[in-house]
């Protein structure tokens, strides 16, 4: 997803618009690789069933926000599931949940692979959060940790989504992408572009996610962990 910042000068990705198409074609292969690596060889029937249920829930709640004015109602559930069931499950839920919600809301388009992969990283990061004495299950510190992560992940999601179209959105000026300019030159331009265009939506997403985590986190963490125990989740 970060190819605009890392592409070499004069390369095919900087001279053409093939980057997004290559990304879309590689997404199924990358997803399959992650399933094998993070799922320790595959998912059993219980994991697949739970993934389907939570993906359906993500698809059902997304129309309540659907990104209008930055309101997003799906990331809190991806964060909670990633925390309880692990990084691999969180990654898959981000992919499948955004895919199902796109079909439900009519949001299918060239941006969908980027949304799926960016949301997958949100779930992946939630599963990799540390488990310190202050953030053990059932303690207030765990919810505070998830709220802080949810804010950061929501802002990072907006930044990753900007990478999907920023290189082609502006061709001149201080906010424009410089083909082959490298990380040092293009990253400040990307940050400036994000501040000028999408900051309001990104902050709205972060606030919505934080509020939903505070309101539902303690209850849903218990519910998800109870489901994990009954399913002998390891």
- CA 188 vs. chain centroid, Å, equals 22
pLDDT single digits (tens) 85-136: 988 889 889 988 988 888 877 777 777 888 888 999 999 999 999 887 766 6
% residues pLDDT > 70 (the chain):
74
Q: Tokens representing 208?
A: 């919505």
This prediction has a pTM of: 0.82
Exposure b/e, 69-83, CB count within 10 A at least 16 = b: ebebbbbbbbbbbbb
- CA 185 vs. chain centroid, Å, equals 25
């Amino acid at each position: 997803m970060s190819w605009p910042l890392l592409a070499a000068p004069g390369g095919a990705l900087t001279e053409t618009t093939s980057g997004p198409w290559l990304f879309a074609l590689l997404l199924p292969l990358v997803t399959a690789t992650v399933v094998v690596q993070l799922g320790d060889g595959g998912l059993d029937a219980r994991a697949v069933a739970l993934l389907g249920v939570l993906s359906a829930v993500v698809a059902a709640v997304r129309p309540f926000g659907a990104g209008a004015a930055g309101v997003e109602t799906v990331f809190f559930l991806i964060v909670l599931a990633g925390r309880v069931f692990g990084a691999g499950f969180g990654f898959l839920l981000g992919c499948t949940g955004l895919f199902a919600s796109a079909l439900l809301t009519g949001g299918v388009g060239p941006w969908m692979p980027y949304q799926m992969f960016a949301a997958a990283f949100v779930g992946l990061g939630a599963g990799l959060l540390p488990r310190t004495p202050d953030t053990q299950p059932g303690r207030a510190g765990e919810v505070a940790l998830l709220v802080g992560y949810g804010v950061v992940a929501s802002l990072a999601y907006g930044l990753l989504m900007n990478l999907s179209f920023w290189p082609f959105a502006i061709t001149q000026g201080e906010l424009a992408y410089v083909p082959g300019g490298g990380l040092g030159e293009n990253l400040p331009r990307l940050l400036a572009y994000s501040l000028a265009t999408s900051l309001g939506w990104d902050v709205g997403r972060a606030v919505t996610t934080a509020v939903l985590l505070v309101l539902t986190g303690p209850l849903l963490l218990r519910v998800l962990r109870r489901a994990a125990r009954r399913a002998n989740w390891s």
